[in-house]
Amino acid sequence: DAGVTQSPTHLIKTRGQQVTLRCSPKSGHDTVSWYQQALGQGPQFIFQYYEEEERQRGNFPDRFSGHQFPNYSSELNVNALLLGDSALYLCASSLLTDTQYFGPGTRLTVL
Amino acid sequence: SQELEQSPQSLIVQEGKNLTINCTSSKTLYGLYWYKQKYGEGLIFLMMLQKGGEEKSHEKITAKLDEKKQQSSLHITASQPSHAGIYLCGAGQGAQKLVFGQGTRLTINP
């Protein structure tokens, strides 16, 4: 049974560019959440998708947007990248009212 | 908004020793999750606590939630090199957004 998968593993972008990160949830899960983890910090909640709709959102600007597809996979898009967007981006999947299981993350470096 | 504070921020112990990590919340905890993270990798789910006074164990790791549901502790007995990593506590209900502490970095010396 495959767990949560994310792609790509690493990514290097320059300021002002746009980036798309992808997540495939654990089999049977219908809810996907995205988190940003800066170096030395705990993860911070970005948003959550359920039934292809954004269900909750954390304190992140509109430059961060997402999408969930009918197969429950999800994308995180970040526009107009800033140096401060450099972080590990984590995807977590769950059933709506159950424990969140995390993927390996995508390391984004903005130069 | 809810805030979690973990202590200590880092911990170095000799292999075979016991250790405890604490997680204190600014508000009542309705769900407390413990995760382990290898440096730069994803989070591995360890345990979830919901009820005041609840205690759960998995192998040599025991987690407790106090009666007032504002503090949790993670205890490792007879530590091994495989226990090294970053331990994170997270607060949330069900699949609601999780609020995390800053993490405790554990190093095990042989």
The DSSP secondary-structure symbol of A83 reads G
In order of their start, the domains of chain B are: 4-109 (2.60.40.10)
Residues of B in contact with A101 (CB under 8 A): 45
Contact, B86 vs B8, CB < 8 A?
no
B102 touches chain A (CB under 8 A): yes
Q: So where are chain A's domains?
A: 5-110
pLDDT per residue over B12-55, tens digit each? 999 999 999 999 999 989 899 999 999 888 999 999 999 999 99
Q: Provide the token pair at B86.
A: 């970053």
Domain A5-110 in CATH: superfamily?
A: Immunoglobulins (2.60.40.10)
**Residue position matching structure tokens 């205690």:** B55
Taking 90 as the threshold, does the pLDDT of residue B93 lie above it? no
Q: How many CB pairs under 8 A join A and B?
A: 65
Contact, B79 vs B16, CB < 8 A?
yes
pLDDT, residue B94, reads 58
Contact, B98 vs B29, CB < 8 A?
no
CA-based torsion, B3, B5, B10, B13: positive or negative: negative
Average pLDDT over residues B60-70: 93
pLDDT, residue A1, reads 65
Q: Using CB atoms, pick whichever of B43, B96, B99 lies closest to residue A102.
A: B43
Rg (CA), chain A: 13
Nearest residue in B to A4, CA atom: B42
From A106's Cα to the closest Cα of chain B, the distance in A is 9
A88 touches chain B (CB under 8 A): yes
Average pLDDT along chain B: 94
Q: Provide the token pair at A87.
A: 């972080």
pLDDT per residue over A52-76, tens digit each? 999 999 999 999 999 999 999 999 9
Nearest residue in A to B88, CA atom: A42
pLDDT per residue over A37-52, tens digit each? 999 999 999 999 999 9
From A41's Cα to the closest Cα of chain B, the distance in A is 5
Are residues A88 and B40, on separate chains, in Cβ contact within 8 Å? yes
pLDDT, residue A7, reads 97
